[in-house]
């Protein structure tokens, strides 16, 4: 159990977030490390609550993603849930096996546990969540696994009390596993959700996208002036654009990212740590080149092999960006 610490209304300290080419076990000697996230089958995850392995294979040089705090971190386990906290931020991770290929039930269980734990702590405000599940596009219509995931997530969030949804990413792996991984960050202070003027808010999508609309914000701005950007693709309004055209999809995705960050009076890519999820591994070099041209001042870019929540979409980009204070 995470015991409460002293309360404060002061703004949050910025989280340190970066990619590093180091051994994960060596990082864990630091008491300021909130989370270490590794990627792919070659990542050997130490047995520590702060460590997560994402099954997606890197398409760029392998790195680990490290989140560092300004304060001492403590960590532990609560059943299947892993946590670490510095009193300002709470890192949470959970993996849930699907029973009978029921991704909806797995999502409901994962979210119910995450929300109950966070809301019982002094860091109850979810800022950002990542969701990874295999075969995300399997099934047709309302039986597609992503749509069933959205339904289960919504059921699991029935006791969610924040005024707005957190930022989020949901990506499919290329394996055959039936295990849902959800991890994310909550905080002592609430963030400010940011929506994109070029897009319909996800929770307002029409019925054609499923019985339950996706429950996430396009981005979340923390009071430490960090922008947590949700997975962003070539969607305008609520419709996908430029089917089977990678170059056009990238152009539209950058237009969305530019518009989203402009809503905070920032410029996309400045001091940003980015992830790009690429459906076709053969297109990784083209994606990397496009990002380098559009966001030359990004502090780091990681490409991962992953399927996007709509089967016609070829690439999705998310990230963490520092904003001018």
Classify residue 140 as exposed, middle or buried by CB count within 10 Å of its CB (0-12, 13-18, 19+).
exposed
Rg (CA), the chain: 18
* Mean pLDDT of the region 34-45: 96
Res 175 pLDDT > 90? no
DSSP letter assigned to residue 15: P
What are phi and psi for residue 261, nearest 5 degrees?
-70, -35
Does residue 195 or residue 3 have the better pLDDT?
Answer: 195
Please provide the average confidence, as pLDDT, over all residues in the chain. Answer: 95
CATH class of 16-322: alpha beta
Q: Specify the long-range contacts of residues 24-28, CB closer than 8 Å, at least 24 apart.
A: 24/51, 24/64, 27/64, 27/66
Listing DSSP states for 177-198 in one string gives --EEEEEEEEESS--EEE--TT
Whole-number pLDDT of residue 202: 97
Whole-number pLDDT of residue 6: 44
DSSP letter assigned to residue 13: P
Res 71 pLDDT > 70? yes
Angle (CA) 95-40-234 rounded to 5° is 85
Q: Please, which pLDDT band fits residue 261 given cuts at 50, 70 and 90? A: very high
Distance CA 62, CA 288 (A): 14
Beta strand pairing status for 125-134 and 167-173? parallel
């Amino acid at each position: 159990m995470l015991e409460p610490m002293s309360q404060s209304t002061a703004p949050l300290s910025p989280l340190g977030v970066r990619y590093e080419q180091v051994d994960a076990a060596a990082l864990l000697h630091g008491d300021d490390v909130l989370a270490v996230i590794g990627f792919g089958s070659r990542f050997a995850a130490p047995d520590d609550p702060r460590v997560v392995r994402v099954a997606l294979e890197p398409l760029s040089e392998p790195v680990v993603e490290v989140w560092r705090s300004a304060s001492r971190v403590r960590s532990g386990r609560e059943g299947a849930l892993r946590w670490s906290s510095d009193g300002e931020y709470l890192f949470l991770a959970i993996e849930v096996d699907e029973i009978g290929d029921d991704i909806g039930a797995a999502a409901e269980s994962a979210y119910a546990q995450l929300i109950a734990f966070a809301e019982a702590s002094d860091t109850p405000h979810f800022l950002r969540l990542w969701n990874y599940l295999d075969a995300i596009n399997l099934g047709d219509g309302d039986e597609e696994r992503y749509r069933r995931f959205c339904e289960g997530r919504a059921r699991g969030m029935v006791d969610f009390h924040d005024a707005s949804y957190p930022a989020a990413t949901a990506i499919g792996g290329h394996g055959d596993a039936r295990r849902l991984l959800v991890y994310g960050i909550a905080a002592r202070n609430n963030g400010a959700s940011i929506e994109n003027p070029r897009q319909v808010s996800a929770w307002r999508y029409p019925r054609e996208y499923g019985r339950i609309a996706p429950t996430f914000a396009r981005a979340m701005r923390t009071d430490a002036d960090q922008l947590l950007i949700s997975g962003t693709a070539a969607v305008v309004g609520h419709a996908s654009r430029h089917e089977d055209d990678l170059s056009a999809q990238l152009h539209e995705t950058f237009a969305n990212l530019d518009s989203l960050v402009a809503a905070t009076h920032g410029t996309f890519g400045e001091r940003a740590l980015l992830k790009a999820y690429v459906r076709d591994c053969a297109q990784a070099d083209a994606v990397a080149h496009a990002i380098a041209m559009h966001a030359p001042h990004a502090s780091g870019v990681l490409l991962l092999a992953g399927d996007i929540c709509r089967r016609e979409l070829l690439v999705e980009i998310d990230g963490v960006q520092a904003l001018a204070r």
